[in-house]
Amino acid sequence: MAVCALFVCADSMLVEAADPLPSWNEGAAKQAIVKFDQSTTTEGTTNFVKPSERIATFDNDGTLWAEKPIYTQLAFAFDRVKALAPQHPEWKTKEPFASLLRGDPKAALAGGEQAIAEIVMATHAGMTTEDFNRVVMDWIATARHPVTGRLYTDMVYQPMLELLAYLRANGFETYIVSGGGVEFMRPWTQRVYGVPPEQVIGSQGKLKYEWSNNVAALVKLPAVQFVDDKEGKPIGIQMFIGRRPVAAFGNSDGDQQMLEWTTIGDGRRLGLLVHHDDAVREWAYDRKSSVGRLDKALDEASERGWVVVSMKNDWKTIFPPPALTPTGREK
Amino acid sequence: MAVCALFVCADSMLVEAADPLPSWNEGAAKQAIVKFDQSTTTEGTTNFVKPSERIATFDNDGTLWAEKPIYTQLAFAFDRVKALAPQHPEWKTKEPFASLLRGDPKAALAGGEQAIAEIVMATHAGMTTEDFNRVVMDWIATARHPVTGRLYTDMVYQPMLELLAYLRANGFETYIVSGGGVEFMRPWTQRVYGVPPEQVIGSQGKLKYEWSNNVAALVKLPAVQFVDDKEGKPIGIQMFIGRRPVAAFGNSDGDQQMLEWTTIGDGRRLGLLVHHDDAVREWAYDRKSSVGRLDKALDEASERGWVVVSMKNDWKTIFPPPALTPTGREK
């Protein structure tokens, strides 16, 4: 009996010793996360949050995976323009498509938001949701990041994967709330982040229901239904979840309103910004970047007590080692 | 040891004998439900559906609770017009408000959809989502059905409450997909149906995020964001859930497209229509009713093998006995 008790004791010590956030350096950021988690999930304390209210929202681009040199979804759209070009001979002389097909994306993007909108509409509409799903699955399984040569789904941040798993293990529902297209993310978020499609909120195009000859289809139209960015993020959270999160994670001014809405609520809250300050292991950018600009939200962070994570100092690893990437895990 | 084994055996027989759908008469409808459930949740069989794909969608008005003599949300809007009248002296002479305030809702509704839209906008917009939530909670706690005198939340169908619980016990996520307003339903669906706010899909108005003097608010605007009815139902399902349901439950032509979209999918599917044919215990209406018209969907039901539930013949009870109503359960 004594031996048996000893084993039980040793076993529970081992469990306690396992760090759920091994890729986070010891420091203020990690402490703030652990303290938030403990104080909201310990029953009988002032800050206890009942399980049904444990909603945590995560931005995607720049918060869960890399967004440099361009957003992954834009790289997808560029590749789709090339794939669809044979069906569109007129693109040879029509901007922004002509520049893209000549291999000059910079010239294509000189048209600004209007050019991007045209590229997105031409590549994300005019097909059924099921066909688009297949196109995304095929692309994401093979397309590689232009700088690292890794699959895009392996360009995810190991410390954030641990954070997602840690919060879920403690009863949180982890939602993605991204400016990216919801139909572009849902096919792979379960596999990569452990987030099911119904917990992905993003920008959306309009859909049309078609029914003919006993076939039902949802067709993607070239029109915007909802933009899930900046002010759109708290609005999307209300539309889709109907509860205010207790924790929100972002990296740019596009996440500022989501963090405000989350942390201004009663009781203990956590707002966190990932600061891209590691030019060696990732990219260093903030106030002047066109992609993922972090400026106003950085100013607001100190005012509101948001945690600012230094990728350089707070993270032991940026990307998962090959065996732990989403692709590696499946092998 | 033998005695012990006997007890275990008797116990498991008792468990087997407990009918999860006691308010359903034995018959084709109940059989179809049980057969669907068993064949989709038995591992190793052709029709097995893995837990993450077990999505069931339920219409609300006329499917989960009564919709006669008028939709509950319209009764709420009428009461709100009366409550808000002192702040709107101009309503005394302005239709459709003037008729409503004179106690003549029929005259008010003579203006058709335009009149209804004006009443809904005037009572559902111009306040924050949190204030609206409070208004709904206060109203739903006290307002009573004009015919039965019961609380509206007690005008729910006992057999459908059992069906929701039965499916959830077998790993299904039970979503509400209603033409009604999402902000009107979410405050009470957890308590009444066991459905949390994030699993309620409905029609929505536009929202605006406001931030001033360190106060964040989402303001309800008098403009439509999304109409979750007819073709809108499969669209709403795609927008909010991103998966096709395996079972869908409705009662009117407004649910036809949701049932098509659900049952046309591969594998075993269940489409079910509640047919209001019990003039004694509830109301009898179908092809010619202005509220909850069931006409085209009824024609399509036999073609597609949808289960048509006769409230008169298939249901032992319509409404819960007082002790089992949502209100009674809380006492």
Tell me the per-residue pLDDT of B36-85, one tens digit each, with 9 for 90 and over.
Answer: 999 999 999 999 999 999 999 999 999 999 999 999 999 999 999 999 99
- Closest A-chain CA to B260: A216
Q: How far is B129 from chain A (nearest CA, A)?
A: 9
pLDDT of residue B17: 61
**Interatomic CA distance for residues B171 and A307, integer angstroms:** 38
Contacts of B172 (CB under 8 A, 6+ apart): B54, B55, B56, B247
From chain A, the residues in CB contact with B215 under 8 A are 264
Using CB atoms within 10 A of its CB, is residue B185 exposed (0-12), middle (13-18) or buried (19+)?
buried
Phi, psi of B306 (to 5 degrees): -75, 145
The single-letter code of the amino acid at A329 is R
pLDDT surpassing 90 at residue B262: yes
pLDDT of residue B12: 46
Both tokens assigned to A183: 């139909």
Mean pLDDT score, A305-309 = 98
Mean pLDDT score, B15-21 = 78
> Could A226 and B225 be called an inter-chain contact, meaning their C-beta atoms sit closer than 8 Å?
yes
Q: Put residue A148 in one of left, alpha, beta given phi > 0 → left and psi -120 to 50 → alpha.
A: alpha
Other beta carbons within 10 Å of A328: 12
Where would I find the beta strands (DSSP E) of chain A? 55-58, 173-181, 200-212, 215-226, 247-250, 270-275, 307-310
pLDDT surpassing 80 at residue A192: yes
**In this complex, which of A209, A239, A240 lies closest to B234 when CB atoms are compared?**
A209
**Terminal CA-to-CA distance of chain B, rounded, Å?**
43
Q: For residue A87, how many C-alpha atoms fall within 13 Å in the half-sphere facing its CB?
A: 8
> Could A218 and B225 be called an inter-chain contact, meaning their C-beta atoms sit closer than 8 Å?
no
Residue A142: which pLDDT band, with cuts at 50, 70 and 90?
A: very high
Q: Which residues of B21-40 are buried (b: 16+ CB within 10 A; e: fewer)?
A: bebbeeeebbebbeebbebb
Interface probe with B: pick from A54, A133, A198, most Cβ of B within 10 Å:
A198
**B265, B277 Cβ separation under 8 angstroms:** no
- Dihedral angle sign, alpha carbons of residues A240, A245, A251, A256: positive
Q: How far is B58 from chain A (nearest CA, A)?
A: 16
- Closest B-chain CA to A224: B225
State pLDDT tens for residues B267-287. 999 999 999 999 999 999 999
A183-to-A238, A291, B140, B232, B238 alpha-carbon distances in Å: 19, 21, 37, 17, 9
Both tokens assigned to A134: 């297949």
Residue A10: which pLDDT band, with cuts at 50, 70 and 90?
A: very low
Q: Which is higher by pLDDT, A319 or A325?
A: A319
- Closest A-chain CA to B233: A209
**Interatomic CA distance for residues A271 and A307, integer angstroms:** 6
**Nearest Cα residue to A220 out of A234, A239, A197, A203:** A203
Mean pLDDT score, A147-169 = 97
Contacts of B316 (CB under 8 A, 6+ apart): B22, B23, B24, B25, B159
pLDDT of residue A16: 57
> Could B260 and A211 be called an inter-chain contact, meaning their C-beta atoms sit closer than 8 Å?
yes
pLDDT of residue A322: 86
Contacts of B268 (CB under 8 A, 6+ apart): B36, B39, B40, B47, B49, B246
From chain A, the residues in CB contact with B196 under 8 A are 52
> Could A231 and B239 be called an inter-chain contact, meaning their C-beta atoms sit closer than 8 Å?
no
Q: What mean pLDDT is reported for chain B?
A: 93
pLDDT of residue A17: 61
Using CB atoms within 10 A of its CB, is residue A291 exposed (0-12), middle (13-18) or buried (19+)?
middle
- Closest A-chain CA to B194: A52
pTM of the model: 0.93
Beta-bridge partners for A228:
none
Q: How far is A234 from chain B (nearest CA, A)?
A: 7
